[in-house]
């Protein structure tokens, strides 16, 4: 069986990564580590730098991820600052920022970066959707407020039904990674 090392301080991300890659015959080893992030407007650049930093600490090929929630009305905010925004204002803060706003278009973007010590390769997945008018149960992070297009359930509700992977930005990026990884 093929294997890959995934480094992150977020166990929930590992669970999603493991679910998608294991089904393709890729064993995922989890390394719980906090990786300092550069300040950048580019998720791709952040993810690639994280992969290089993780490789330098672990001395072995490693996969990392960075993602963000981009809300159209807020000019893409919180975007690459999503983790910080979630920690500081959470879903209730996002709801307050969008109070009275009828059009709540948003996208979730995920970038996985794999560093082999020489190069960093990145894989992007994007899911379009909207922000719900109320916080719903289930999931983690912004899952309770994000509804993917062609769906009436939030990511959190979909996760409870074990259907989040069908719409997930993370799954889309991982599918690109696994095709590349299995062929290289």
Dihedral angle sign, alpha carbons of residues 131, 137, 142, 147: negative
Tokens 């672990």 sit at which residue? 58
Closest C-alpha to 143, from 176, 174, 112, 165: 165
- Beta strands at 62-71 and 105-115: parallel, antiparallel or unpaired: antiparallel
Neighbouring-strand partners of residue 115: 62, 120
Q: With contact defined as beta carbons under 8 Å apart, do 31 and 181 qualify? A: no
Judge whether 143 counts as a catalytic residue.
no
Tokens found for residue 120: 């960093």
Q: Which residues are catalytic?
A: 66
């Amino acid at each position: 069986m093929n294997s890959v090392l995934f480094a992150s301080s977020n166990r929930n991300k590992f669970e999603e990564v493991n679910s998608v890659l294991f089904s393709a015959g890729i064993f995922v080893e989890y390394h719980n580590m906090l990786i300092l992030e550069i300040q950048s407007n580019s998720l791709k650049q952040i993810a690639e730098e994280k992969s290089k930093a993780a490789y330098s600490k672990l001395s072995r090929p490693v996969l990392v991820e960075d993602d963000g929630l981009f809300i159209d009305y807020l000019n893409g905010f919180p975007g690459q600052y999503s983790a910080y925004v979630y920690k500081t204002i959470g879903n209730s803060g996002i709801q307050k920022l969008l109070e009275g706003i009828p059009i709540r278009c948003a996208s979730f973007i995920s970038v996985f970066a794999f560093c082999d010590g020489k190069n960093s390769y990145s894989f992007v997945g994007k899911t379009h959707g909207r922000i719900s008018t109320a916080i719903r149960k289930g999931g983690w992070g912004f899952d309770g407020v994000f509804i993917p297009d062609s769906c009436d359930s939030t990511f959190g509700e979909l996760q409870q039904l074990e259907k989040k992977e069908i719409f997930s930005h993370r799954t889309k990026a991982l599918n690109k990674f696994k095709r590349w990884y299995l062929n290289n």
